């Protein structure tokens, strides 16, 4: 690794420590420019926002723009927390379509704000360069450029010498290539917040500075659920039913007295500002060197340089009075950035440092904000934890939050930011949040590979089969705090180690790096090393039988005197079915978007066991994907509360294990260990459930719930097993299936098989901004009775849709991962939401929503009549388009019909 010589580094430190006076001047200037409305505290408001930084000011602007009577409370002056010292970089490209839309919303607002308000937003469109030092990084940039084309974002891949022409101070010998995005820029935080609040005041909003919120007042509604009633401040009390927590690094502190927790960790984050440099001017592009983990922000004739190190200084809490405050720069931490910056731009090392900025920032376990309604207190919303990206995401996120508050849901699929992506168990676990936030910070600039996994916070929740999975060679993945098997190594055992903090903070680095080295074999945009092994699992499922551990799936019983009314309102499907019938259906939001897809079994009161509980009347057993389990539960419970229905949701996720045996031989394997006649189509037809006994040994049986369902398109069954019997049932199945070729299979094979069959994966090809009609799931929506979102569905059924899901296969053996642009007759009409390899089809397969340039409705005829190509790494590949997946189009295999 490149290092500064001792003499050069000493000189650099002297320059840093001798140039601190600018900090005071910056703080003083921002304090002067901070808006002081002089407003008294109103008696009431529709919405009260706590926190006057980027998140708070943007939220106030978006709400008042929509006619909401909103008040912003700031305990000091606007921008006094973390906003004032932000670098203010605004990029346009991210490896995620939703984030690209959020960034575009921010940029569009910054460019139009002065015309609207008469106040300069501080936006400067000077462009951006992403620097690459490897072929893999350049591949990532090609993927970004391809996705950007789908949204009209101009960008191009440059050679080092071409990049030097754009930024002459770069050393072209120091890197291998770059991505240039001329539409990127930078914004001044104080100017932006001034413009936003001036506009908000003109729209009837109120800003009260020097106003500390000391207590959020709550009560209880008729269902015994807490709700917001008002806020006590040092200037009096204000009545409101809606509060937005936009307090940044104080976001966790504000709501803990309410018994509410957020996984938010404050850390020190720093950058330095160079002296005036010859050749530097404001229209030079900003730079991100992801491999060196640094950024350059152009500020006049100076360069601001910062980055993300492996050993950031973690903070317990930030004092409430830390207004316009800064910390001393820790050179032992910042040293690594200096090395990379000087290597990339040698003149930076001789320029001298004018000032240093080291302030607190809020970080989260996945490096994404915490947004949306709190599931425990009605009327409490969050908009914090922006991971030093509050300027670039602030306006886009505030726009979505305003929709969330006013219309119950945002326009975009905001699950990646939704606070409900974390379970209550995760939110309470400060140690877990700290580990994960540290790693997310350190890896912020790492290449986003399709199958990377965290090393921090592992083994947080394990299912009853965990030890057996490891013994059989499982390479584990983590989702929603749970460990699940990704795939199985036939002759190796890989154990996830405790987090070693990269060897910092006096933690010794792990000596056993087997798991970490196994993950690195997936660090590619080509076919990974384990591609064929995963294919063996998938093909075994198609030809014989495979067993999948689905234990982390959400498992809920909905019961109560109004359980029937509850499921009929929450879910679009027809659940007026006989006892033991299982139905696949969706829960929709008011716009018709899919909040979750589930299987629901109609059940009657049982024997009092976990899988067969006792209750009055008719009940419903709901099974949903595990990665969004708490989101699913929260959505169901919120709908029950809204309708004030007498219904109860009981969560058995951690108490029941699930083994799914799928494939042509699945029936005969399970039949060996039960006297229940699985071939009796009246007792257990497709899409049904029953209670049966498993013969563990000649002297012991245990009862389980069996569901005849499949997520892979094969004859198959799920066994839902009480925790204490899980290991026995697993061993019995493996013994029964030994001669039939039964093998363990992981989620990598499961997702390949499901994509090949044409089944949906929520969060990818089925999201909260997709309706069932658009996703070819119109059959899940009943024609009789009201349900949430029905009006939107009826309109689409009558008028048509402006986007529709289609499937694409490629004859070329080229991997696809999702985000690739889809061309129809030479025009971009969408991008792949999901990309897999279909091992049975022996082709790559992906799903995309097709749109029309003219905005007209998308019909089946329109889709079928086009000539399609997929852009992969900047190259076009011929593709075949299908309205439905070409695998088993008649659905015979799931019925046990094999030819």
Spelled out in words, what is the top-level CATH class assigned to the domain 762-882? Answer: mainly beta
Listed in order, the ranges of the chain carrying CATH 3.30.70.1400 are 554-652
Q: Token pair for residue 585?
A: 């259906």
- Please give the average per-residue pLDDT across 294-307, as a whole number: 97
Cβ neighbours of residue 535 closer than 8 Å, sequence gap 6 or more: 749, 752, 837, 839
Please give the Cα distance from 201 to 719 (Å, whole number). 59
Q: Look at the alpha carbons of 401, 402, 407, 411 in this order and tell me if their dihedral is positive or negative.
A: negative
CB atoms near residue 502 (< 10 Å): 17
d(CA 141, CA 175): 14
C-alpha dihedral sign at 454, 457, 462, 466:
positive
Topology, domain 128-182+266-363: D-Amino Acid Oxidase; Chain A, domain 2 (3.30.9)
Question: Cα(844)–Cα(292) distance, rounded to whole angstroms?
Answer: 34
Q: What pLDDT is stored for residue 446 in this prediction?
A: 97
Averaged pLDDT for residues 327-356: 94
What pLDDT, on a 0 to 100 scale, did the predictor assign at position 44? 98
- Range 232-245 average pLDDT: 98
pLDDT of residue 38: 53
Q: Where in the chain is the domain with CATH 2.40.30.110?
A: 762-882
End-to-end CA distance of the chain: 61
Average pLDDT of the chain to the nearest whole number = 95
- The phi, psi pair for 424, rounded to 5°, reads -55, -35
Confidence band (pLDDT; 50, 70, 90) for 32? very low
* 3-state DSSP percent of the chain in helix, strand and coil, to 5: 30, 25, 40
* 629-643 vs 563-570: helix crossing angle, rounded to 10: 110
**Burial class of 406 by CB neighbour count within 10 A (0 to 12, 13 to 18, 19+):** middle
At 224, the pLDDT band (50, 70, 90 cuts) reads confident
pLDDT of 222: 80
- Stretch(es) of the chain classified as CATH 3.30.1360.120: 545-553+655-740
Q: What are phi and psi of 855, to 5 degrees?
A: 75, 5
Q: Residue written as tokens 């109860």?
A: 648
Q: Is residue 555 pLDDT above 90, yes or no?
A: yes
Q: Which CATH architecture does the domain made up of 554-652 adopt? A: 2-Layer Sandwich (3.30)
Please tell me the distance from the alpha carbon of residue 633 to that of residue 637, in angstroms, as a whole number: 6
Q: What is the pLDDT at residue 223?
A: 79
CA separation for the pair 279, 117 (Å, rounded): 34
Dihedrals φ, ψ of 533, to 5°? -65, -45
Percent share of the chain, pLDDT over 90:
94
Q: What is the pTM of this model?
A: 0.95
What pLDDT is attached to residue 705? 98
**Rounded mean pLDDT of 676-690?**
97
Q: What is the C-alpha to C-alpha distance for residues 443 and 521, in angstroms, rounded to an integer?
A: 18
* Per-residue CA distances from 731 to 727, 749, 802 (Å): 6, 22, 50
Q: Measure the CA–CA gap between 381 and 404, rounded to whole angstroms.
A: 9
The pLDDT of 676-691, averaged and rounded, is: 97
The continuous run of DSSP H or E covering 832 comes out as strand 827-838
Q: Where in 118-258 does DSSP place strands (E)?
A: 123-124, 128-132, 156-158, 177-181, 185-187, 206-208, 213-220, 226-233, 236-239, 243-245
**What average pLDDT score do residues 161-182 get?**
98
Which three-class secondary structure string do you get for 466-481?
HHHHHHCCEEEEEECC
Percent of the chain with pLDDT over 70: 96
pLDDT band at 18 (very low <50, low <70, confident <90, very high): very low
pLDDT for res 268 = 97
Confidence (pLDDT) at 221? 86
Of the candidates 593, 581, 621, the residue with the CA atom closest to the CA atom of residue 720: 621
The contacts of residue 699 (CB under 8 Å, 6+ apart) are: none
For residues 625 and 90, what is the distance between their CA atoms, to the nearest angstrom?
35
Question: Are 461 and 481 contacting, i.e. CB atoms less than 8 angstroms apart?
Answer: yes
CATH assignment, 47-83+190-264+366-417 = 3.50.50.60
What's the CATH code, domain 545-553+655-740? Answer: 3.30.1360.120
Where exactly does CATH 3.50.50.60 map onto the chain?
A: 47-83+190-264+366-417
Residue 365 CA to residue 387 CA, distance in Å, equals 10
pLDDT tens, position by position, 822-876: 999 999 999 999 999 999 999 999 999 999 999 999 999 999 999 999 999 999 9
Helices 21-33, 189-202: inter-axial angle, 10-degree rounding: 10
| Segment 502-551, tens digit of pLDDT | 999 999 999 999 999 999 999 999 999 999 999 999 999 999 999 999 99
CA distance 270 to 312: 10
Mean pLDDT confidence for 778-787: 96
């Amino acid at each position: 690794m490149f290092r500064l010589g001792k003499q050069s580094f000493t000189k650099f430190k002297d320059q840093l420590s001798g140039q601190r006076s600018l900090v005071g001047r910056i703080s003083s200037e921002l304090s002067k420019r901070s808006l002081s409305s002089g407003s008294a505290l109103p008696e009431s408001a529709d919405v009260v926002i706590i926190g006057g930084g980027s998140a708070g000011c943007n939220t106030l602007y978006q709400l008042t723009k929509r006619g909401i009577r909103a008040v912003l409370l700031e305990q000091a002056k606007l921008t006094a927390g973390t906003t004032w010292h932000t670098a203010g970089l605004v990029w346009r490209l991210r490896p995620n379509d939703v984030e690209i839309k959020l960034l575009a919303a921010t940029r569009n607002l910054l460019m139009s704000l002065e015309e609207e308000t008469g106040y300069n937003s501080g936006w400067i469109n000077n462009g951006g360069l992403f620097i690459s030092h490897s072929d893999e990084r350049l591949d990532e940039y090609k993927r970004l450029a391809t996705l950007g084309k789908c949204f009209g974002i101009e960008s191009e891949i440059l050679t080092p010498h071409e990049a030097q022409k754009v930024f002459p101070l770069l050393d072209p010998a120091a890197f291998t290539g770059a991505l240039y995005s001329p539409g990127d820029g930078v914004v001044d935080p104080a100017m932006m917040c001034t413009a936003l609040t001036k506009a908000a005041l003109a729209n009837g909003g109120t800003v009260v500075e020097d106003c500390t919120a000391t207590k959020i007042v709550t009560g209880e509604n008729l269902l015994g659920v807490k709700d917001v009633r008002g806020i006590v401040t040092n200037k009096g009390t204000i009545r409101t039913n809606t509060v937005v927590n936009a307090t940044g690094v104080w976001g966790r502190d504000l709501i803990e007295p309410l018994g509410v927790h957020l996984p938010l960790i404050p850390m020190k984050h720093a950058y330095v500002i160079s002296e005036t440099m010859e050749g530097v001017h404001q229209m030079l592009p900003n730079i991100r060197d992801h491999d060196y983990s640094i950024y350059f922000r152009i500020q006049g004739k100076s360069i601001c340089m910062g980055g993300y190190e492996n050993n950031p200084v973690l903070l317990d809490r930030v004092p409430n009075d830390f207004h316009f405050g800064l910390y001393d720069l820790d050179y032992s931490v910042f040293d690594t950035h200096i090395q990379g910056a000087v290597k990339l731009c040698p003149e930076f090392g001789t320029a001298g440092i004018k000032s240093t900025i080291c302030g607190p920032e809020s970080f989260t376990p996945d490096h994404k904000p915490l947004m949306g309604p709190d599931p425990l207190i009605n009327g409490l919303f969050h908009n914090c934890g922006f991971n030093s990206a509050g300027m670039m995401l602030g306006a886009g996120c505030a726009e979505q939050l305003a929709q969330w508050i006013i219309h119950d849901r945002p326009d975009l699929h905001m699950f990646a930011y939704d606070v409900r992506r974390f379970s209550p168990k995760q939110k309470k676990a400060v140690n877990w949040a700290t580990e994960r936030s540290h790693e997310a910070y350190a890896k912020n600039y790492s290449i986003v590979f399709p199958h990377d996994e965290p090393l921090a916070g592992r083994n947080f929740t394990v299912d009853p089969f965990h030890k057996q999975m490891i013994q059989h060679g499982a390479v584990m993945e983590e989702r929603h705090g749970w460990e699940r098997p990704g795939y199985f190594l036939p002759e190796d055992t890989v154990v996830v180690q405790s987090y070693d903090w990269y060897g910092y903070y006096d933690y010794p680095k792990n000596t056993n790096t087997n798991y970490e080295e196994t993950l690195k074999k997936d660090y590619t945009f080509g076919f990974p090393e384990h591609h064929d092994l995963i294919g063996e699992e998938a093909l075994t499922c198609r030809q014989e039988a495979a067993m999948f551990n689905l234990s982390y799936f959400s498992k809920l019983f909905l019961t109560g005197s109004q359980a029937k009314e509850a499921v009929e309102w929450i879910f679009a499907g027809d659940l007026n079915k006989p006892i033991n019938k299982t139905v696949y259906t969706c829960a929709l939001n008011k716009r018709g978007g899919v909040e979750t897809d589930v299987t629901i079994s109609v059940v009657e009161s049982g024997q009092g066991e976990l899988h067969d509980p006792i209750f009055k009347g008719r009940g419903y057993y709901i099974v949903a994907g595990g990665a969004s389990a708490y989101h699913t539960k929260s959505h169901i419970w919120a709908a029950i509360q809204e309708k004030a229905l007498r219904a109860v949701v009981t969560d058995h996720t951690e108490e029941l294990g699930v083994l799914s045996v799928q494939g042509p031989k699945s029936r005969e394997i399970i039949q060996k260990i039960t006297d229940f006649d699985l071939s009796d189509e009246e007792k257990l037809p497709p899409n049904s459930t029953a209670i049966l006994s498993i013969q563990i040994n000649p002297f012991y049986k245990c009862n389980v719930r069996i569901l005849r369902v499949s997520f892979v398109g094969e004859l198959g069954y799920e066994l839902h097993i009480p925790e204490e019997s899980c290991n026995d049932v697993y061993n019995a199945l493996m013994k029964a299936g030994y001669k039939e070729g039964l093998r363990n299979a992981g989620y990598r094979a499961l997702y390949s098989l499901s994509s090949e069959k044409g089944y949906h994966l929520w969060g990818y090809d089925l999201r909260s901004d997709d309706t069932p009609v658009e996703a070819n799931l119109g059959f899940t929506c009943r024609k009789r009775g009201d349900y949430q979102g029905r009006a939107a569905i009826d309109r689409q059924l009558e008028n048509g849709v402006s986007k529709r899901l289609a499937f694409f296969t490629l004859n070329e053996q080229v991997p696809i991962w999702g985000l690739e642009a889809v061309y129809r007759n030479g025009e971009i009409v969408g991008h792949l939401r999901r990309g897999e390899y279909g091992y049975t089809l022996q082709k790559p397969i992906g799903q995309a929503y097709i749109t029309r340039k003219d905005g007209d409705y998308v019909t089946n005829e329109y889709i079928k009549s086009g000539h399609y190509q997929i852009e992969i790494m900047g190259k076009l590949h011929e593709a075949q388009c299908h309205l439905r997946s070409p695998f088993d189009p008649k659905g015979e295999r799931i019925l046990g019909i094999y030819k």
